[in-house]
Structure 1
Amino acid sequence: MPKFYWLRFPEQSRYTGNLNARHKWGGLPGVRCPECGATWAGSATAYPSADLSSLPQREAYAEPRPEPFDEFVRLRELVRPLVPPGAQLLPGAELGPLVGTATGTFSPLFFYFATMPLMHREALELLQAEGVRGLRGFPTELRFRQKKHPELLELEILPHGRLHPDCTPERPPPCPRCGHDYFTRPDDPILEAASLPAHTDLFRLTDFETMLIGTECFVEAVRHLELEDVDCRELLLR
């Protein structure tokens, strides 16, 4: 049986990196749902490959705000051709390259901000050479105070797979219109084996996008290359 790991920035690290940054084009607005009554923006996924420069309505994505459901759908469908096929595009999904300032030191795999996972270019190339699949890194527009700093790429990590219902609380079914389905992350996550992808070694979960998941291939490559700084916790499958 394949193994899957929850990837996190370790609680103790010698790295001091910090970001004051956002994505260039903003992102999808939040949504006000007329059916369930929720106002929410739950995405933790960014699409740094998205280029809205030729979209006349690009200013509509600049400021975060809630919109009525029909307007949210209209804005979501305008950008769908600009993101990878199968992108989940939840309310709040961010678009474009990362822009801002970076201070401190950054590990080769910098997963401190799950919404903005970064990797040194050299680390990305080494992992790809080891046969790790599905890694897509995009240039950032980060400004550093120090002259000597690594070239940081932002990973575009798409959502695939789900938590198994046995580890999540009992709750009403998701809203059939907007999909709202709030629950807290379980202390002991279990992955739904049948939902896990077979084509990529790094992904987010569709129902908990802040959880980054790596396959055994990814984790073995990271350990073999002695890349810092990521905590790898094997998860149960069911």
Structure 2
Amino acid sequence: MKYFTVEEDRTPLYTGVITGSHKWGLPGVDTCPACGATWGDNSRAYPSVDLTSVASLAEFTDPWAVPIEEYERMCELVRPFLPPGALLEPGTTLGPAVGTAVGRFGQLMTSYPSWLLVQREALEKLQAEGVQGLKGVPTQLRFRQRNSPEFFELELLPVGRLHADCLPPDREPPCPRCGRVALSLPAERLLDAATLPSHLDVFRLEDFSNVLVCTERFAKACKRLKLDGVVFNPVPISRPKKRASPVK
């Protein structure tokens, strides 16, 4: 199986711009007692989560960093509403995408921070093709134009990791308290074959949530259906090392 990153098509044909965010989110962490970092990353999102019933118990609309004890309390409020396989980190966003949109969009589009949006007809076609793991959530985007598209956001679970061979050998392990990984995304990437899912054709990486990955099945279906708006760039995967033959 071949794999690709899903990235924005930057040709002048696509002028669409989205300004917005998800309805709710977890705050960042202010000065983690274990690693000392203040941080948050909003590239991990679960648009299907509905926090209406617990929204009064915490400030889920304020992205500013809070003490880690408050962040952990909010995580426990959120956890029962998460889809299976979801992972939390400071800055995780929740609920439907809300905002405004204008311009020309393709059938698919990626938007900061690493959303993957698909128009209704395109989503239905991909599902009919048997592409695995497509969970589309209606957005709440307001379009400043006539004949506006109806976009769904694909809920992408964090699975799969980069292989150790493309990462610094002296890297530090994730913080045991807040989970922060003090690494920059390498320019040359290699997927760890042992971590890749067999039940999903599109997902985001667990260790670098801003990287969207799809299988060859997904990329070929989009090409066959002539779905535009994104580009697919091949990314290599690790291969099992051959065992040395026993000495006779």
The TM-score bracket by the shorter chain reads: over 0.9
Letter in 2 for 1:107: G
Structure 1 unaligned blocks of 5 or more: none
- Alpha-carbon deviation of 1:209? 0.5
- Alpha-carbon deviation of 1:42? 2.2
* TM-score, length-scaled by structure 2: 0.91
- CA 1:108/1:56 → structure 2, altered by over 3 Å: closer, same or farther? closer
Q: Does the 8 Å contact 1:114/1:211 carry over to 2?
A: no
- CA 1:159/1:193 → structure 2, altered by over 3 Å: closer, same or farther? same
Letter in 2 for 1:181: V
- Alpha-carbon deviation of 1:66? 1.0
Q: Does the 8 Å contact 1:201/1:215 carry over to 2?
A: yes
- Alpha-carbon deviation of 1:43? 3.8
* TM-score, length-scaled by structure 1: 0.95
Residue in 2 aligned with 1:176?
176
Q: Does the 8 Å contact 2:114/2:212 carry over to 1?
A: no
Number of corresponding residues: 236
Name the SS of the counterpart of 1:22 in structure 2: strand
Distance 2:153 2:216 in 1: 22
Distance 2:200 2:3 in 1: 12
- Alpha-carbon deviation of 1:190? 0.2
Distance 2:185 2:19 in 1: 26
Residue in 1 aligned with 2:112?
113
Distance 1:92 1:223 in 2: 34
- Alpha-carbon deviation of 1:115? 2.9
- Alpha-carbon deviation of 1:114? 4.4
Residue in 1 aligned with 2:59?
60
How does 1:1-238 map onto structure 2 within 5 Å?
A: 2-25=1-24, 27-32=25-30, 33-57=32-56, 59-169=58-168, 170-238=170-238
Distance 2:144 2:42 in 1: 30
RMSD: 1.3
Name the SS of the counterpart of 2:111 in structure 1: coil
Name the SS of the counterpart of 2:53 in structure 1: coil
- Alpha-carbon deviation of 1:157? 0.7
- Alpha-carbon deviation of 1:112? 3.4
Q: Does the 8 Å contact 1:157/1:204 carry over to 2?
A: yes
Q: Does the 8 Å contact 1:41/1:92 carry over to 2?
A: yes
Distance 1:144 1:188 in 2: 37
Distance 1:94 1:56 in 2: 14
- Alpha-carbon deviation of 1:56? 4.9
Q: Deviations over 1:37-85 (max 9, x none)?
A: 0111024121111111111535511111111222111101111111202
Name the SS of the counterpart of 1:102 in structure 2: strand
Q: Does the 8 Å contact 2:18/2:111 carry over to 1?
A: no
Distance 1:149 1:46 in 2: 24
- CA 1:219/1:147 → structure 2, altered by over 3 Å: closer, same or farther? same
**Percent of matched pairs sharing the same residue:** 50
Q: Does the 8 Å contact 2:16/2:101 carry over to 1?
A: yes
Q: Deviations over 1:122-170 (max 9, x none)?
A: 1100001011010111111111111211111111111100001111123
- Alpha-carbon deviation of 1:110? 0.3
Q: Does the 8 Å contact 1:52/1:58 carry over to 2?
A: no
Q: Which 10-residue stretch deviates more, 135-144 or 202-211?
A: 135-144
Q: Does the 8 Å contact 1:120/1:152 carry over to 2?
A: yes
